Structure 1
Amino acid sequence: MNILSPVAMPAAPIVRASAIIAAAHQLLAMLERGQRIDNAGLRTAMEIAFEASDASGVWDWKTAYEACECATVLFLRKYGRALFRKADTPAARLSALSKVSGLLPTHTRRSEESQAHQQFSTPVPLGLAAIAAAAIIPRDIVLEPSAGTGLLAILAEISGGSLLLNELAETRADLL
């Protein structure tokens, strides 16, 4: 007979979101230095923020990728408007944002929650293409019915749009 029990009880959503944001701030510092975030650096940030390793079951790699996305949102919130002013064409913006995206690890692992909610992260360059196609202006209200960690939304905000966001996953909603 097999008895399955979790290694650790999952953290409550708001506590989980706080830890993800704490990790994101550590990762933001790496992005600001132009430092590539590799698995070792990401693991360290997550272990510090969650005070546990991934082996404990308190966090998984999908959660780590969400911390990277939050770090990207923080980076864009801090530098995005200046970046858009300096890089005033879609091609120039794509080049600049691709450099930032190139510092992030690729998403190679999924969680049960990400599969259940069919969560897929919008790559920043694809988000930029969507924002350029939408031609958002300051009086636009941008509705995002499944906002995830806010990667697409932050680009709309930088472009001058007002945001109305929704997210079904509790932790991701708390990150917004």
Structure 2
Amino acid sequence: MTAGQPTPDPVRTATLEAFADTIIPGTKRFPGDRAVAGVVDDAGAVEAGALDLLAHPALGLAEALDGMAGLLNMHAQAYARARQLTLDPAVPAFVALEFDDRTALVQNLTDPSHPEREVWFGAALFCTMAFDSAPHLSTAEALDQGHPGLSVLGFSKPDEDGLWRFPHFSYQRQLADIHPQTTATGSPA
């Protein structure tokens, strides 16, 4: 967090982390972690930076995140009431749901017939993007930090000069010659 930015709301943070963990689950970060359910043994969307991406200025969602978290918790409370589930009042309602219930609720929210589908489908898409492409970081920086999604995908590190080169052609042959006006950095002239 940089100077001048407000302190993140812990309810919003935990709720959106639980949402991201529902999309791409991860391992608990510490023993008492409630937002990350810990249903897998590898890092998931939360460790991949899903919240950083959702709050990134380029997305334009930062102002809406409090409202999204509130709406998600409202849906979680309604879900729990309809199923006569007792939620722990010490954590946000969505966080208090068991992982299978979180999953069922997210499936409902992203169903084509749900009136808020576009909101939740978009949020799920950005959580997935944080994991599989790390658009909120430079690729080289993400790889240096051991980004979990890029590591799982086997994304290779750049050469020493920071450029990616692929000496082995995927089609077992070169498909085209390099354009004569291509610069030394690989950009078109």
- TM band (smaller chain): under 0.3
Q: When you count strand as a share of all residues, which structure comes out higher?
A: 1
Report the TM-score, using the length of structure 1 for normalisation: 0.24
